Structure 1
Amino acid sequence: MHLLLTALTCVAIVTDSLSYKESGAAIEAYRQSIEQGGKQTVLMLDRWGHPDSLRAQLYDLYLNHNLEGAILIGNVPIAMIRDAQHLTSAFKMDQTSDWKESSVASDRFYDDFDLRFDYIKADEDKPGYHYYTLRADSPHAISCDIYSSRIVVPDISGADRFALLTAYLEKVVRLRAQNEVIDQVLLFAGNGYNSDSMRARMDEAWALRQQFAGLGTLPGFRFDFINYDFDEVIRPRFMAAMSDPDLDVAILHHHGSEDAQHLGASKVNGIQSAFDYLKSFLRGRLRRSKDSTATKAEYIAEYGITDSWFKGAFDPEITRQDSAYSASMDLSVEDMAGYTPQAKFVMFDACYNGSFYYHDYIGGRYLFQEGNTVVARGNTVNSLQDIWPDEMIGLLQGGVCVGNWAKMNMTLELHLLGDATFAFANTSGAPCLDKDIRLQAANPVFWRQQLASTTGDYKSLAMRMLYRNSAIFSTELLAIQQSDSSPLVRLEAFTLNKKIADANLKPAVLNALHDDYELLQRMGALTVNLLGDEDLLEPVMAIYFDPTTTVRVNFHLREVFEQVPYASFEAAAMAYRAKSPLWPTEENFQALLKSLQYSRDSRDQNLAVIAKPDATDKELRWVIPAQRNKQNAQMADVLLTFLRDTSRKTEQRVTTAETLGWYMFSFRKADIVAACRDI
């Protein structure tokens, strides 16, 4: 351990022996740069090859040496977590599938010491993968004690991985010495993200200007925005903007995979482009069809088109052109040659972009390209769109390192890549709280004092730390949500009240539904659906039928209508329609009724399947686990009956109990808990 008189917190640098042998000088220089920033370091060569041993070492450092974070460089064992999908934002997969795909690669194993796991086995094909099950007696919420980050070089054809690692660490050391200031931020919105809601984009830009002081108000400060539909092919503009040497932070919302950012979509702009798009679509359908003759006949009969619309479907040159055009909608690892991303911190708000356990992954490519990107945040599996990725991000302008900021809001799949100790200069005008996040973590008196801050993200941090110390309660949080002038503070208060989930959640939801900040209203809409309370039907309907309500908010409010009996919904909808004949249009209103009738019929079919004494495993596998997503209150009684039925297979009852466990916000929660305790 290297000790500095001014250093009060500690960072562990963990690496494998081969990485240290080949890039040891660069690792030592990186270590020294952290110490020059006022933090102790501990170098740990992983000689165990097992996550349990490393976790024990990190926990000891946490208890005895004020460990604040761990940087995992190279071939460090990967914990593949099972039976914990409720700790992800969206990932739900049948765990009988391939374990590599149905487990979640997660460093919460290393940075949340309260979580409890049982070891299962190492993977036969990939011995660096270690499978764990989350224990039933573990906490079932994530609250990271430290931060962690991965520095894993992707497999790039023709490149020396250790030369890339050395070059990356040298880049980090150089940029750390420059004391970078956040004065240029880029926000990108990709195709289909948050239902392409422009109000969501507008409000995020508005909030970011509050979080990063100076954006849009001071000379020399820039806030830039790119929407995917600025161009037919957005990739060139996107890459050019990301290559601006002055760019500091890039917040990227889009869909993704482990090896690509899905940025754009085919754009129809005029009659000719509409024809071109439809012909390309039909050619693609024909190529994918098992019976191209039958498929062509079906389209001709249904749409009255001619054979000429399919011309060239199997022509090699036209196939190549179609494929190239489709690929141009994405930025993939194959497109990285010559690309020099400059944002020091990149947020990949997308599925799978942070999949460091794949042999090649787009998040890693950003780090190891030439350019100035040194730290990123991304997901190892799919992720939910309706989250708050920018929560407290203004702390970065206050000198808080990326790791200490990010650990406040982690899911099982969310990870930092690169140098999590990287910090921008403190230009906030307020004291830097970077060390206090670790050293004052258990001091509610200190955080109660910070609650007086007039800066939204500082006040939000104080609320979060008070919550972690059980020193702020739902009544106070509700009062803050109802009265604070900052939308960021109001959203943080609501977020924490949702974690507490007591009797004050319902009024908090109603308040959120009427908030002018789109993201807070959207979070309220998402949560009111999970409550499933019929008492909320009328206020929900008033907001749903308001012509100014955004498309993404209504996406969630539409699901609330499925939580109540169709007759109750229809009566309320018809009464509202009588008072408001202008909106929605009659066509849209009838379409809504029809879709809810379909949902009712589908639900009734599912209820009948569950009630069948001879329902097969296959039937039940489709019907019961689906409620992990839906959490439909009308399904609760039949699920509880099934759970109590001792004539059912034990495995089926266990699946039912697990599914009911997802009803954590439902007004039926007390009934579910009582039933589980009785069996």
Structure 2
Amino acid sequence: MKALNKLFIFFLVSHLFISNITRAQEIIPSTLEIKDRSFAIVTDRTTFEKCQKEITAYRDVIESEFLPTLIIYHSWKNPEQIKNELKKLYESSKTEGVIFIGDIPIPMILKAQHLTNVSTAIPSDRFYDDFSLTFDFLEQSKTNTQLFFYNLGISSPNRIRSTIYSARLKPLASSSKSNDKYQQISTYLNKAVQARQQKNSVDQIMSYVAFQPLSAWSSQSYFLEEQFPQVLKSSTRFQNYKDDKFRTLQGETINQFRRKDLDIAFIRQYALSNVAMIHPNVTLTIFADNPIGNFSEPQYDAGYFTFSPGNALTVLANSVQPTPHPHPTYLIGSLNMGLNIGQWAKLNNTLESHLLGDPTFFFSLSSADTLSQFVNETDNKHLVQALSKVSSPEAQSFLLNQLFLNRYEGLTKLLMQYYDSSKYATVRYTCIHIAERQEGEIRSALFSKGIKDPDECIRLEVIHSMARIGDPIFIPALVEAYTENQHAESILSAINMALYAFNKDLIKNIAEQHFMTTNNYTDKSAEKEKFYDTQFTGVYLEIDKKIFDTNSDRQKQGIADLHTVHYHPSITRYLEFVRNSKMNIDLRIAMLESLSCFRDSYRKPEIVAACKELMVDTRHSKRLRDEARRTLNNIN
């Protein structure tokens, strides 16, 4: 018997030893010494075996630019295996980014309504690259075993802040043997290697908007001109246009995509058809507000860019319909100053935004200011010194953003200083954007300035923020902004939506006084009635009538509407709704989910107190108590 036990132990130890050897062979170390950063290529075993030559060549070209690169391959069983490996590499090898190549498990995230624009499952690689987020596993799809469903963890942080950058290289489904998924990957990686042969600065840009008011289009154009000043040297370097009611320019957009000298294409309100036939050559394409990057589907439009026969290299796209962003190219000018595409995208990550293609590509320097040395800088004194020396607006914005990420104590003073003194809209926008995420006097002071800023993107940012916060002290500024922005269609639309978040009677009282004293109109009474006709109609005007209806379908719709319009005046009633044990439990849960979107509300303390009470009140079901705990974490 003892002999058998010894034999069993021998075989067990041997098996573990061999398993460790196998695991070690799955990590191919960098050929360079790792000092302060590295990059990871993660792929599945079959893809590595079939594309080993191309993956190795891709690794070599990245390392030729002094970024140590590891290759990790395995027959991955679930996303947790990969995330654990990335965490280890981050600690041991200072890994700054990763590309997922081939058949890599796809996390599908639920219970994240406060982070995105939809309540359905969202394909998101924030599972992998944001180490602070936590997730609760639900199930693996039976119809597509690559999909793994998770709830965002009850105690997970309520904002995205990726630890590393990430990108996907997921081929399109194909019935062609000559262009199967492995051939697509090999062809792309050869293209990525070839793209490094010529050093290229950002000097050719195309911006296209399908439909947008002229004033908003002009504002975004000014931003791009400040971010890429070198493109102004020639009228042909910055192709910037939009559709209008008389003509559409989709055909010209396709011609632009096919240009071999185009560096960046920026697309809003994407309306192109037959994407597979475009064959783009642009290095980086940004689809700002369309869900064309859903890589959980066998075929997805962004994939036709990445895997096109043209030279298109990298796409930034969304996996679901994103929340509208007034400035989706925030800090993109840093690509002029040494950052690679992944480092820039990481600064703007949302739950649904994803890079598809090579994230390590960087453009040649075309600015006197360089920023790559500050990407991971934690010494605020060093950053402040650098801020005082840089001259370009995008470098100033980047360094202010780094100080914010580092929680610099002197930031409030700097924000006010740079907002008041800067002639650059991008810098003033950065000050407003950072102030929005802070509480106290700095936010109110900059909002009062920002809503009158000459730049429309800045005014839009302030208006959206005022609606999310919901403090009635903002109503006079919003009503005044209505009368001062009659030329700006986007501003008027934003004010209309923002005022839905406030009490109707308060708006009327303030509007009555304002229209009596304003000198903007010859017929004040007629303009006031026009304002009322616009403001006091629409589907969001009577949210509470739906919520407190007796019809459950109308109630569900009203509660869902709170994701879009945060109606702060009725928070007391909403909390009573949740506490009421006579109400349908599903509706009470839905209300808690909607209240998790009120994390910026000036009435947040009331929601926090109610959730703390509900969490420990055993008269309520465990399901409701757990949801209260989740909501508490989401808004804190």
Query: How high is the TM-score relative to the length of structure 1?
Result: 0.81
Corresponding residue of 2:602: 667
Residue by residue over 1:498-519, the C-alpha shift from the partner in whole angstroms, topping out at 9 and shown as x without a partner, is 2224443232222210111111
Deviations 1:119-160 (A, max 9, x none): 111111111101111112111101111100001111245333
Q: Please list every run of 5 or more consecutive structure 2 residues that lacks an aligned counterpart in the other structure.
A: 1-28, 615-636
Query: Match for residue 396 of structure 2?
Result: 459
Distance, in Å, in 2 between the alignment partners of 1:479 and 1:136 is: 39
- Count of residues in correspondence between the two structures: 581
- AA aligned to 1:555 is S
Counterpart of 2:336, as a letter, is: Q
8 Å Cα contact 2:205-2:265 kept in structure 1: yes
Deviation at 1:405, TM superposition (A): 0.7
SS in 2 for 1:371: coil
Q: Which moved more, 1:562-571 or 1:488-497?
A: 562-571
| Corresponding residue to 1:161 among 173, 181, 194 | 181
2:508 matched to which residue of 1? 570
CA deviation vs aligned residue, 1:364-390 (integer Å, no higher than 9, x gap): 111111222111100000013333211
* 1:68 partner SS: strand
Mean CA deviation greater in 32-41 or 581-590: 581-590
Q: Which moved more, 1:493-502 or 1:3-12?
A: 3-12
Match of 1:182 in 2: 202
Does structure 2 conserve the Cα–Cα contact (< 8 Å) formed by 1:49 and 1:76?
Answer: no
Partner of 2:238: 223
Shift of 1:50: 1.0
Q: Is the 8 A contact 2:210 2:248 kept in 1?
A: no
Correspondences of 1:264-663 after superposition (within 5 Å): 330-333=272-275, 336-337=276-277, 339-431=278-370, 433-434=371-372, 436-438=374-376, 440=377, 442-452=378-388, 453-472=390-409, 473-474=411-412, 476-578=414-516, 579-580=518-519, 582=521, 589-598=528-537, 602-603=541-542, 606-608=543-545, 610-611=547-548, 615=550, 617-663=552-598
Residue 435 (structure 1) shift: 5.3
Deviation string, structure 1 residues 440-485 (Cα, Å, up to 9, x no partner): 3x33333233322222222222222222221144454344333333
Secondary structure of 1:624's counterpart equals helix
Which of the residues 108, 121, 138 maps onto 1:103?
121
Deviation at 1:353, TM superposition (A): 1.3
Distance 1:79 1:199 in 2: 40
Whether 2:612 is the aligned partner of 1:677: answer yes
CA shift, 1:648, in A, is 3.4
Q: State whether residues 547 and 584 of structure 1, in contact with CA within 8 Å, keep that contact through their aligned partners in structure 2.
A: no
Q: Deviations over 1:380-416 (max 9, x none)?
A: 0001333321111111111210000110111000000
Distance 2:433 2:209 in 1: 24
Q: Distance in 1 between matches of 2:153 and 2:69?
A: 32
Contact preservation (8 Å) 1:547, 1:583? no
Q: Is the 8 A contact 1:474 1:500 kept in 2?
A: no
| Alpha-carbon spacing, 1:348–1:599, altered in 2? closer, same or farther (3 Å) | closer
CA distance in 1, matches of 2:524, 2:175: 56
Q: 1:113 to 1:585 in 2, by over 3 A?
A: same
**Partner residue, 2:140:** 122
Where 2:196 maps in the other structure, the secondary structure is helix
Give 3-state SS (helix, strand or coil) of 2:230's partner.
Answer: coil
Question: Is 2:250 the partner of 1:238?
Answer: no
Match of 2:630 in 1: none
1:33 corresponds to: 61
Tell me which of 195, 208, 219 is aligned to 1:203.
219
Specify the code of the residue in structure 2 equivalent to 1:455. S
Contact (CA 8 Å) 2:293, 2:302: kept in 1 or not?
yes
TM-score normalised by length of structure 2:
0.86
Going from structure 1 to structure 2, the CA distance change for 1:368 and 1:454 (only over 3 Å counts) comes to same
Mean Cα displacement is larger for which, 587-596 or 23-32? 587-596
Alpha-carbon contact 2:206-2:238 (below 8 Å) kept: yes
- For the Cα contact (< 8 Å) 1:112–1:145, is it kept in 2? yes
Question: 1:316 matched to which residue of 2?
Answer: none
Measured in 2, the distance between the counterparts of 1:601 and 1:629 equals 9
CA contact (8 A) 2:265 2:285 kept: yes
User: Is this contact kept in 2: 1:79–1:109, CA < 8 A?
Assistant: yes
Deviation of the 1:361 alpha carbon: 1.2
Distance 1:465 1:487 in 2: 19
d(CA) in 2 for partners of 1:37, 1:600? 55
Structure 2 Cα separation of the partners of residues 547 and 6 of structure 1: 55
- Report percent identity of matched pairs: 24
Cα contact 1:566–1:600 (8 A) shared by 2: no
Secondary structure of 2:611's aligned partner: helix
Query: Deviation of residue 182 (structure 1)?
Result: 1.2
Q: Pick closer, same or farther for the CA change 1:209–1:611 going to 2, 3 Å.
A: closer
8 Å CA contact 1:450–1:458 kept in 2: the answer is no
Report the CA distance between 1:543 and its aligned residue.
1.3
The CA distance in 1 between the partners of 2:140 and 2:534, in whole Å, is: 47
Q: Distance in 2 between matches of 1:182 and 1:358?
A: 32
Provide the residue aligned with 1:304 in structure 2: none
Is residue 47–residue 182 contact of structure 2 (8 Å, CA) maintained in 1? yes
1:165 is displaced (CA, Å) by: 1.7
Which residue, 100, 124, 134 being the options, matches 2:152? 134
* Structure 1: gaps of 5 or more residues: 94-101, 256-261, 263-329
Task: Specify the code of the residue in structure 2 equivalent to 1:463.
Answer: L
Distance in 1, Cα, partners of 2:246 & 2:92: 55
Separation (CA, whole Å) in 1 of partners of 2:230 and 2:546: 59
Residues 157 and 449 of structure 1, relative CA distance in 2, 3 Å threshold? farther
Partner of 1:186, secondary structure, is strand
2:25 aligns to what?
none
Q: Residues 498-545 of structure 1: CA distance to partner in whole angstroms, max 9, x if unpaired?
A: 222444323222221011111111101111122222222222212101
Amino acid at match of 1:500: Q
Greater displacement, 234-243 / 472-481: 472-481
